[in-house]
Amino acid sequence: MIVLVVNCGSSSLKYQLINMDNEEVMAKGLVEKIGLPDSQLTHKWNGQKKEIKQSIPDHQVAVKLVLDILTDAECGVIKSMDAIDAVGHRVVHGGEEFAASTLITDEVMKALEKCSAMAPLHNPPNIIGINACKAIMPGVPQVGVFDTAFHQTMPAKAFMYGLPYELYKEDHIRRYGFHGTSHRYVAGEVAKVMGVPVEKLRIINCHLGNGSSLAAIKYGKCVDTTMGFTPLAGVLMGTRCGDIDPAIVLNVMDNHHLSTKEMDTLMNKKSGVLG
């Protein structure tokens, strides 16, 4: 079985083509600066690398470019798109609806649209990538793998905020947690290295990058994490502020006459280590 794994960001697309029979990565690459003048594709296969610099106006064009190079006579690794049995999509926010990887249907797409407000930087490009693959590869199963799913085992004492309860019931305001696919994988690797089943270990995971989070994993299940309602919460990150006194948001918006969108940009893209 050959699976194409796709991770769409706001202006990027990472991919790997994997033969699941032997877990071999047949090819992988990165499409950068989608929608910008200097966009490019970097493709790697069999120890070789090729860069293509051209206009890539949107994610659908990016997906088409990836499929073209995977089947290219010179640097491709499959003869045609028919060789791809399924496409897996990393989706950042699945809300409370998804506690496991899910076959993407029309109903699932509607649920992802609803979650977009909770991850405005991440879910919209994830959805664009799914739609692009569906348009180019109709009939090929598409599967969503959710960053939030691993954290659905957290107890209420870990995910509830000190806010009026109706905000949870009506608006689904709660801690969701992110980087779940990473935290699940790392916990499994720790168990392998230690030679102990993950169900018998208590682990603190640290996912460190431009976006960072910690997770407390008890006997294979997440019981707490640092990220919250959105990936903005938790520890200080590259450009994200992490946890701050919530009154700061109101104060800065009032003093500098910022809109909610401007304040969101300030906290997500101009803060953290950069700030």
Sheet hosting strand 202-207, strand order edge to edge: 202-207, 213-218, 221-225
CA distances in angstroms from 194 to 188, 215, 225, 226, listed in the order given: 10, 19, 23, 25
| CA of residue 122 relative to chain centroid, distance | 7
138 closest CA partner among 112, 104, 115, 189: 104
Q: Show Cβ contacts of residue 210 under 8 Å, excluding neighbours closer than 6 positions.
A: 237, 238, 239
125 closest CA partner among 68, 61, 58: 58
- Positions marked active-site: 147
76 closest CA partner among 66, 84, 86, 85: 66
